[in-house]
Amino acid sequence: MTPRRFLPGLAILLALPLPAQAPAQAPAQAPSEEAAIRRFRAHAAPRAVASRPPLSAEERNAIRRFKEAKPSVVYVSAIAPIQDLRTRDITKIPTGTGTGFVWDEWGHVVTNHHVITVEDKGKRIGDVDEVEVTLADGKTYKGRVIGTSFAYDISVLQVFAPLSAMRPIPIGRSSDLQVGQGVMAIGNPFGLDHTLTKGVISALGREIGTGYSTRILNAIQTDAAVNPGNSGGPLLDSGGRLIGMNTAIAAATGASVGIGFAIPVDTLNRVVPLLIARGRLEPPRMGFETMGSYQAQQLFGITRGLVVSQVDLDSPAGRAGLRALEVDTSGRLKTMGDVLLGYQGRQIENEGQFMAMLELESPADVVVFDVLRDGRVIKVRLDLRTPKKKESTSI
């Protein structure tokens, strides 16, 4: 017999109508099931707690270091003045949050500069001067931005809190770090204050970009989870010492994928004292001021370059003939000022990128700007050397 002989019969069976079935109904519970439920309900009681094994040395160390570092980690809220276009009233509202840490016993807090940057639909509008800083005890104090480096994405805040409440974080070294050693990150991801994550140093000597077209060298790569809100927070070694400031993550989705980057503490220890003392890394005095990029775009449609808004006549810019815009008594534009398109052969995108260039490059005695003036691009040379005083001749 072959399988073919069964095919016609099979086809007939498949073609026959199936007998009608009654609608499906939930089976009635047997009396024994109800009795079991009632019986077992009587045994409802809290479970006995199993004894906990001793914490490992690694766990005890992490707990200890977190407790020691927590008072040094703060919650930073950037505050920006917003004007109601209808009433002209100005109110101050939070525009961004992040993390910071207490640098010294004089009330200085360090964070990332991008934490205090005001953005609108992903575009940088400007920076805030005022912040609110919440300490680990939950108390909030006013702070002011007193120092900023665009090149290194670092800002220093002066916090007006009792100095006794400010607990400086212990400082370590980044020059002797090793790939594989354990690290801890503390921050405020998604607003969840004082969140601890652990990991290892995944790599050293990385280069990471900033929002100001600069590159930070010798960055630390770690797999400790960092997310939006961790920016400006400390990266600690197993001894609880600061070895870096968490700054960036490598994730297209904006959430952690186990690749985070921190500015090394050796860079912080070099830059932060200069920012506290001077406010900025010492740029050359050129004698001009520029309009904010966002304002220039809104008023004049300028998307690249810097509009010169003021020029000190007794300065390199004044002596070179750089022109500032002029407005009438009602604030309306009379004459457009020079637009700085390039500096030393490199394009100028915005004020942050320009300041970063000045921080990283020691300027020559004479610098050259590409300037848009009256519809033409010309070169303007600024002599930064101090002019010699004319000697008087007695007669």
CATH of the domain at 265: 2.40.10.10
Q: What is the mean pLDDT of residues 323-345?
A: 86
Residue % of the chain over a pLDDT of 90:
56
pLDDT of residue 123: 55
Q: Whole-angstrom Cα distance, residue 144 to residue 181?
A: 36
pLDDT band at 389 (very low <50, low <70, confident <90, very high): low
Residue with more model confidence, 364 or 341: 341
Residue 276 φ then ψ, to 5° = -65, -40
Judgement on whether residues 308 and 226 belong to the same structural domain of the protein: no
**Length of the chain in residues, anyone?**
395
Q: What is the mean pLDDT of residues 69-90?
A: 77
- Encoded amino acid at 319, one letter: R
Q: Whole-angstrom Cα distance, residue 177 to residue 222?
A: 12
From 130, 165, 200, the end of a domain falls on 165
Q: Which residue stretches of the chain are H helix?
A: 7-15, 31-41, 57-69, 265-278, 293-300, 316-319, 351-360
- Average of per-residue pLDDT values in the chain: 84
From 139, 165, 191, the end of a domain falls on 165
Q: Whole-angstrom Cα distance, residue 117 to residue 127?
A: 4
In a domain, 264, yes or no: yes
In a domain, 16, yes or no: no
In a domain, 339, yes or no: yes
Q: Whole-angstrom Cα distance, residue 19 to residue 312?
A: 100
Q: Which of 6-15, 25-34, 92-101, 282-291 has the lowest mean pLDDT?
A: 6-15
Judgement on whether residues 155 and 207 belong to the same structural domain of the protein: no
Where in the sequence is the domain holding 341, given as residue range(s)? 288-383
Residue with more model confidence, 2 or 283: 283
Q: Is 394 helix (H, G, I), strand (E, B) or coil?
A: coil
pLDDT band at 8 (very low <50, low <70, confident <90, very high): very low
Highest mean pLDDT among 156-170, 299-313, 315-329: 156-170
pLDDT band at 388 (very low <50, low <70, confident <90, very high): low
pLDDT of residue 392: 46
Judgement on whether residues 316 and 262 belong to the same structural domain of the protein: no
Contact 339, 349 (CB under 8 A): no
Judgement on whether residues 152 and 190 belong to the same structural domain of the protein: no
Contact 154, 268 (CB under 8 A): yes
pLDDT of residue 130: 82
Neighbours of 360 (CB within 10 A): 14
pLDDT of residue 178: 96
Judgement on whether residues 307 and 226 belong to the same structural domain of the protein: no
Contact 63, 55 (CB under 8 A): yes
Is the pLDDT assigned to residue 46 strictly greater than 80? Answer: yes
Judgement on whether residues 154 and 221 belong to the same structural domain of the protein: no
Judgement on whether residues 299 and 260 belong to the same structural domain of the protein: no
In a domain, 45, yes or no: no
Q: Whole-angstrom Cα distance, residue 132 to residue 75?
A: 8
pLDDT of residue 235: 97
Q: Whole-angstrom Cα distance, residue 176 to residue 323?
A: 50
Residue 157 φ then ψ, to 5° = -110, 140
**How many domains does the structure of the chain reveal?**
3
pLDDT band at 395 (very low <50, low <70, confident <90, very high): very low
In a domain, 151, yes or no: yes
From 240, 270, 300, the end of a domain falls on 270
Judgement on whether residues 215 and 133 belong to the same structural domain of the protein: no
Non-local (6+) Cβ contacts of 205 within 8 A are: 217, 218, 219
Positions annotated as catalytic residues are 114, 153, 231
CA atoms within 13 A of residue 182's CA, in its CB half-sphere: 11
Is the pLDDT assigned to residue 118 strictly greater than 80? Answer: no
Nearest to 144 by CA among 295, 334, 275: 275
Non-local (6+) Cβ contacts of 204 within 8 A are: 177, 179, 218, 220, 221
In a domain, 345, yes or no: yes
Beta bridge partners of 23: none
In a domain, 363, yes or no: yes
Judgement on whether residues 303 and 372 belong to the same structural domain of the protein: yes
In a domain, 32, yes or no: no
Is the pLDDT assigned to residue 256 strictly greater than 70? Answer: no
